[in-house]
Amino acid sequence: EVQLVESGGGLVQPGGSLRLSCAASGFPFTSAWMSWVRQAPGKGLEWVGRIKSGGTTDYAAPVKGRFTLSRDDSTNTLYLQMNSLKTEDTALYYCIAVITGTAAHPYFDSWGQGTLVTVSS
Amino acid sequence: EIVMTQSPATLSVSPGERATLSCRASQSVSSNLAWYQQKPGQAPRLLIYGASTRATGIPARFSGSGSGTEFTLTISSLQSEDFAVYYCQQYNNWPPYSFGQGTKLEIK
C-alpha cells in the first residue's frame, strides 16, 4: 500500500524558515517523481515544486528562490525547505508521488494527507 | 503558463441525475489532462488521467472527454458520496502544473 506521510508543519513568523518532510513507502521511491502541492484555507490547489528521480528540481514562480526540494533515496524521504516565509505561504502542504504516471505523463496519482503551515506574527 | 478555467464554479444537482463539469485550457494541452475529486477534510484523489482514462478503483459512472482546450467530466448518476469539489489539471506543458480553480458539486 502506498503511504505518504507529511510532517514538519506548524506556526512560523514571517521571514522564518520551516522544513517539511514526507515519508514514503509502498512503492519504488528511487524512481518516482515527487511534488508538493499546497492549498490555502478555503482555496484551490497550487503546485509548489517537483523533484525528478535523479534530483532535478523545478519550482513555481511564487516560491522560486525561497523554497528548496530535496530527497533522500536511502530513507525514502522527500523534503521541502521553506525560507523567507510570507503570510501568503499559509496553506496545507501535500506530498505527491507520480507512481503509475510516467515522465511523459506525470499526473498526480498518490497524495499524502497534508501538513499545515501557518505564517503569522 | 497555461491557465485552466473551470465552469461553473458551483453546480447544484439532485442525486441520481447527471452532472457535467467543464474545463478549458488557455492553449492546447493535447490529452494531458487529469481530474481530481476532493471531499471536505480529505486530500484530493485522482479520478481521470489522459483526459478519459479512469484511475484505479474509480466507478464507471465517472467519465472524461475532450482534447486540446476543451474537456468535460461527466458523472452519470450522482451518488451521495460524489458531492465534492472537482479540479482539472494539465500536465502537458510543465512546469508549472496548472490546476483549474475548482467546481463545487452540491446537492440540489
pLDDT, one tens digit per residue, over B45-73 is: 999 999 999 999 999 999 999 999 999 99
* Nearest-by-Cβ selection for A105 from B32, B43, B100: B32
B99/A44 touch (CB, cutoff 8 Å), yes or no? yes
Residue B102, exposed/middle/buried by CB under 10 A (0-12, 13-18, 19+)? buried
pLDDT at A103 over 90: no
Min Cα–Cα distance to chain B from A121, Å: 26
> Which residues in chain A have their CB less than 8 angstroms from residue B104's CB?
none
Say if residues B87 and A94 touch (Cβ distance below 8 Å).
no
**A101 falls in which pLDDT band (50, 70, 90)?**
confident
Q: What is the pLDDT of residue B28?
A: 97
Distance, in angstroms, between A2 CA and closest chain B CA?
A: 13
Low-confidence residues of chain B: pLDDT under 70: none
The band of A104, judged by pLDDT with boundaries at 50, 70 and 90, is: confident
Count other C-beta atoms under 10 Å from residue A91's C-beta. Answer: 22
Q: What is the pLDDT of residues A49-92, one digit of tens each?
A: 999 998 999 999 999 999 999 999 999 999 999 999 999 999 99
Mind spelling out the 3-state secondary structure of chain A?
A: CCEEEEECCEEECCCCCEEEEEEEECCCHHHCEEEEEEECCCCCEEEEEEECCCCCEEECCCCCCCEEEEEECCCCEEEEEECCCCHHHCEEEEEEEECCCCCCCCCCCEECCCEEEEECC
- Is the pLDDT score of A100 beyond 90? no
Does the CB of B36 have a partner CB in chain A at under 8 Å? yes
Put simply, whether B89 touches A (Cβ < 8 Å) is yes
**Within a 10 A sphere around the Cβ of A11, how many other Cβ atoms?**
12
Q: How far apart are CA A81 and CA A96, in angstroms?
A: 16
Of B43, B45, B49, the CB nearest to A105: B49
**Would the CB atoms of A35 and B97 count as touching at under 8 Å?**
yes
How confident is the model at residue A46, as a pLDDT? Answer: 97
Cell readout for A6 is 507529511
**Nearest CB partner across the interface for B49, out of A45, A107, A112:** A107
